[in-house]
Amino acid sequence: MGTMRTGSSILELKVNRAAERNAFSELFAYSNYVAGMFAFSGHKDITTVLVSTMDVKITRQAYLYDLLVADRDVVVYAPIFVTDALESLRLQLHVPSDDEFKRFTNQLLSHDAMGCVVITINDIPGWIDNKEEDGSPNEWTRKHLSGLSNYAAQLMEEERLHGFCFVRKFWDSTPWSNRSSLFICALNPFRLAEPERANAITEQLDEKLHANLFEAPLYAFDGRLIRLAQRVANDSLTHGGHGEFELPLWSVVVTSVSEVAISHNFAFRPTGTMREAYVSHLNAIYARNASRGRLSGGCLQAKSQRDLQLAPGVDVHGDVRLPSWRSPRNGGRR
């Protein structure tokens, strides 16, 4: 055990494959024990350092999970010998390969992996209505509906859900313009089970129990999203109208004209890993645009409107563009 600029640290050395399998379970047991000494210490206050060859696949997968999902401060060094002499021992920082990242992220970036719950509420006079200003929801309606999305995102972050939320307000020309919806979407971990690893577990169980192993947690996660949406409604709406709940398939939502193409979609708030990826993507875009134009007074001066591009899926007003077809209302992509 030691100290770092960021707080306490715990170092563990593993010297063979058998011991390496238990590396992370022991490290986190130690870190949790130390955390118990300091009330309310967070997962970023203790840095865990592992020295291991990382030859065991399960250890590499655990490390990748902690980097991308659990978001712990974990550092791994691989011991190498420059020569046969003991004095030539060096510690080399272990970085997961591109293939390992691709396999992991390809599972995450899938419409089928998303769980989705939608809460729809009727307009509340004086707070939320369907009056538009210059083709967009009026200022007070956007403000109050954005507050719902902000609160939902805070609760999602608290529960370490990786996803996003946003508000849908139908155009005033549609029959449903007096209704607004809050979408809460998160990666359902039980939709991401790797067949290879799942088979290792199911082979040990009676075939009758297979459905319980996967289906029960799958639907329980949907229940978790519903409870979160109910909390948003109960805490935020005091007029008795707590809305209707739906569980649409996200893969259908993004391809349905009636779901997201004839509406204003705004107050997009990514959470967890999605937030990290989204912000990194935005930073890369602004850095690229800065190299083409120039920064003046804190604002990006683009060479042309074409050079000034926001992240795919968000227009200059912060509205979400979900499907890729052309909207008949404004001649642009929504």
267: left (phi over 0), alpha (psi -120 to 50) or beta: left
Whether 273 is in a domain gets the answer no
Residue 312 pLDDT level (bands cut at 50, 70, 90): very low
What is the SS3 assignment for 4? strand
Cβ count within 10 A of residue 262: 18
CB 51, CB 14: distance < 8 Å: yes
Tokens of 112: 């089928």
pLDDT at position 313 over 50: no
Kindly state whether residues 25 and 55 are assigned to the same domain.
Answer: yes
CB 192, CB 65: distance < 8 Å: no
Helix (H) or strand (E) holding 155: helix 139-158
Q: How far is CA 263 from the centre of its chain?
A: 24
Residue 110 pLDDT level (bands cut at 50, 70, 90): confident
Kindly state whether residues 83 and 222 are assigned to the same domain.
Answer: no
pLDDT at position 78 over 60: yes
Taking only the tens place, the pLDDT of each residue in 146-187 is 999 999 999 999 998 999 999 999 998 888 888 899 999 999
Instruction: Give the residue from 229, 263, 297 where a domain finishes.
Output: 263
Q: Which residues contact 333 (CB under 8 A, 6 or more apart)?
A: 321, 324, 325, 326, 327
Whether 102 is in a domain gets the answer yes
Cα–Cα distance between 133 and 139 in angstroms, integer? 8
CB 35, CB 41: distance < 8 Å: yes
Location of structure tokens 């404004």? 330
Please tell me the pTM assigned to this model. 0.72
Kindly state whether residues 23 and 130 are assigned to the same domain.
Answer: no
Residue 315 pLDDT level (bands cut at 50, 70, 90): very low
Cβ count within 10 A of residue 17: 12
Q: Which residues contact 193 (CB under 8 A, 6 or more apart)?
A: 214
- In the chain, the N- to C-terminal Cα span, in Å, equals 54
Cα–Cα distance between 27 and 15 in angstroms, integer? 15
Whether 285 is in a domain gets the answer no
Kindly state whether residues 35 and 169 are assigned to the same domain.
Answer: no
Kindly state whether residues 258 and 118 are assigned to the same domain.
Answer: yes
Name the average pLDDT for the chain: 77
Whether 220 is in a domain gets the answer yes
Instruction: Give the residue from 263, 293, 312 where a domain finishes.
Output: 263
Number of domains in the chain: 2
Kindly state whether residues 100 and 143 are assigned to the same domain.
Answer: no
Determine the structural domain holding residue 212 and report its residue range. 112-156+164-263
Cβ count within 10 A of residue 253: 20
Q: Which residue has the higher pLDDT, 310 or 52?
A: 52
Taking only the tens place, the pLDDT of each residue in 132-152 is 888 889 999 999 999 999 999
The length of the chain in residues reads 334
Instruction: Give the residue from 70, 89, 106 where a domain finishes.
Output: 106
**Beta strands 114-122; 244-246: pairing state:** antiparallel
